[in-house]
Amino acid sequence: MRVLIVDDEQLARDRLVRMVGDFDAYEVVGEAANGMEAVRLAAETLPELVLLDIRMPGMDGLETARHFNEFEEPPAVIFCTAYEEHALEAFDLQAVGYLLKPVRKENLGTALAKAQRVNKAQLAALADDGEPRRSHIVARTRRGIELISIDDIRYFQADQKYVTVRHGSGEIIIDDTLRELETEFGDLFVRVHRNALVAARYIEGLDRARDSGHYKIRMRDVEETLEISRRHVAGVRKFIKTL
């Protein structure tokens, strides 16, 4: 079985690599120090199993596992943690493995034997406050897996079946709907049109076109402007007054 090891501590990774090597039928195909690196590496190496640290800076293990779930063939996940919390007990009842640090070889062997693919309900059981909000958007592009920080996104714009994500370095296409994105990130983005959500942190103001009379939103670090529908003008004006 192909194994990917993810932990922000080099010593912890080295220890897991040595222990996994002691078990037959398991091969470590890669190591990652954070969630973003793990998602990219998993897309390249296609592991069948991931030993995944929960507490990591940036993208934590829970969000990383959610992105794994979007793969066509998601890997099995064994969570690793130094904290024995009540949520972990509920999660263990779902028969998904977790290991308390420092990981012991006998416990690792047991977890490897019962590992299965993690699902959304199980992730929610592990999270203290329900399903955690993503810190990154992930998409498959011609360049492979791309992860875009929510803080770097200027706007989401819907076009038929897909949504375009405009960020600091360009654009990507994702399958999420605007309704789903607004539900998850509604406090960070402002609805300016039925087909567009704009990041509050990048809004500078609104302009009115002389020829058509339509209002458009002006954003920092973005050359183009997005049209504001009539039903959303009042809401956008109210928001801009708070800037």
pLDDT tens-digit profile of 207-218? 988 877 889 999
Residue 137 falls inside a structural domain: no
> Is residue 191 predicted with pLDDT exceeding 70?
yes
Is the pTM above the cut of 0.85?
A: no
Q: Is the pLDDT of residue 58 over 60?
A: yes
pLDDT band at 129; cut points 50, 70, 90: low
Last residue in a domain, options 56, 91, 126: 126
Q: Does residue 57 sit in the same domain as residue 94?
A: yes
Residue 135 in domain: no
Do 100 and 164 have their domain in common? Answer: no
- Do 119 and 174 lie in one domain? The reply is no
Cα separation, 28 vs 53, whole angstroms:
16
Residues 59 and 169 in one domain: no
Q: Which tokens belong to 136?
A: 């990154």
52, 69, 100, 217 from 92: Cα distances, Å: 15, 18, 12, 48
CATH number, domain of 227, equals 2.40.50.1020
pLDDT score of 94: 44
Q: What is the pLDDT of residue 95?
A: 40
State the total domains in the chain: 2
Ranges 69-73, 127-131, 147-151, 231-235: which has the least confidence:
127-131
Full residue range of the structural domain in which residue 118 is found: 2-126
pLDDT at 121 > cutoff 70? no
The reply to whether 175 and 84 lie within a common domain is no
